[in-house]
Amino acid sequence: MLKYNFSAGPCVLPQEVFKKAADAVLDFNDLSILEISHRSKDFVQVMEQAQSLAFEHLGLQDKGYKALFLGGGASMQFLMCAYNLLENKAAYLNTGTWSAKAIKEAKMFGEVIEVASSKDSNYNHIPKSYSVPSDVDYFHFQTNNTIFGTQLQETPSVEVPIVCDMSSDIFSRQRDFDKYDLIYAGAQKNMGPAGATLVVVKEEILGKVSRSIPSMLDYKVHISKDSMFNTPPVFPIYVSMLTMQWLKDNGGISWIEELNNKKAGLIYNEIDRNPLFEGFVTDKADRSKMNATFVLKDEAHKDAFDQLWKDAGINGLNGHRSVGGYRASMYNALSVEAVETLVSVMQELERKG
């Protein structure tokens, strides 16, 4: 039996996508997808389809944005966005390990103003009262903090361009995507295998810094070559395209958002109801619908709980080392049944007490 995979990423993808991807490895128009040229007509179509599906899901068609699928992971975007956009100073919201890493890279290119940080409380909430200076080149934040299980619910209202890491909640819920000037997201959560990173950027914000930018790190270069400046990660892009198509065929972001709300409701209700557990995030409004972090109130139950969820066919529930406890990652392709199984395991632990 296949396991219920609650891993934080790489993670579960739709079975249908796995099957189509496997088929294409063996036969994609009489060749393997792994052996075709990225310049072939067939792959150019895949790239165009992937870009157009990304725009469609985000509602950003014909609004001056370009979509790229780049290598290097979301971590590459930490430096690439600063390289391309940071002339003098930029504002960053520090809500977790990935924010801190983005800040570290940006400091190599200019002044970084950390407008607020929840580091002192181990990132167990999202800072609320802060202001973003109007003279910064951009404001950067993460919508979802994969490790700590917090999620920004509203898009901050600011006067400066917004640069945003949506690696762990892209395509999972509706947002005012047109308020964002640059969105990036590693594929390996809601899109596909690791190796491709989606970058959606408003073209008008580019070309304003005075430094010269190495070609591979220059968004304008990648745009001028339709994301084919060098050999793109063909297979991850193909699988991302399949997942975006799957999302579209089933009803798009509004369909998945309802399911994601249902899954999050199930797990958080149980965390709050079950006397053996408590949530990690202090402000319930900040709870992530993608990654639910929780701990056992009494560690004495740890062995019994670990045995129960493993026996129930659950994989990947251990929390990140900087938080401890458990993390149930519930990306788009995780079934409601998987979350119901986890909830029933938590209830079984309570019964056995």
Which residues are known catalytic residues? 98, 165, 189
Asked if residue 4 lies in contact with residue 193, where contact means CB atoms within 8 angstroms, the answer is: no
**CB nearer to ligand PMP: pick between 189 and 263:** 189
- The reply to whether 326 sits near ligand PMP by the rule CB under 6 A is no
- The reply to whether 73 sits near ligand PMP by the rule CB under 6 A is yes
Q: How far is the CB of 22 from ligand PMP (least distance, A)?
A: 23
Q: In 89-179, where do the E strands start and end?
A: 89-94, 111-117, 139-142, 144-145, 150-151, 162-165
84 in a labelled binding site: no
CA 128 vs. chain centroid, Å, equals 21
CA–CA distance, 179 with 197 (Å, rounded to integer): 20
Asked if residue 314 lies in contact with residue 342, where contact means CB atoms within 8 angstroms, the answer is: yes
Choose which of 5, 7, 117, 146 interacts with ligand PMP (CB under 6 A). Answer: 146
Asked if residue 73 lies in contact with residue 186, where contact means CB atoms within 8 angstroms, the answer is: yes
Segment contacting ligand PMP by CB under 6 A, of 33-41, 68-76, 217-225, 260-268: 68-76
CA–CA distance, 183 with 200 (Å, rounded to integer): 5
- The reply to whether 165 sits near ligand PMP by the rule CB under 6 A is yes
Choose which of 12, 46, 74, 256 interacts with ligand PMP (CB under 6 A). Answer: 74
Which residues 203-262 are close enough to bind ligand PMP by CB under 6 A? Answer: none
**CB nearer to ligand PMP: pick between 51 and 329:** 329
Helix (H, G, I), strand (E, B) or coil at 264: helix
Residue of 237, 204, 194, 193 whose CA lies nearest to 43: 237
75 in a labelled binding site: yes
**CB nearer to ligand PMP: pick between 75 and 347:** 75
**CB nearer to ligand PMP: pick between 186 and 233:** 186
- The reply to whether 168 sits near ligand PMP by the rule CB under 6 A is yes
Strand duo 314-315 + 139-142: pairing: unpaired
List of residues contacting ligand PMP (CB under 6 A): 9, 73-75, 98, 142, 146, 165, 167-168, 186
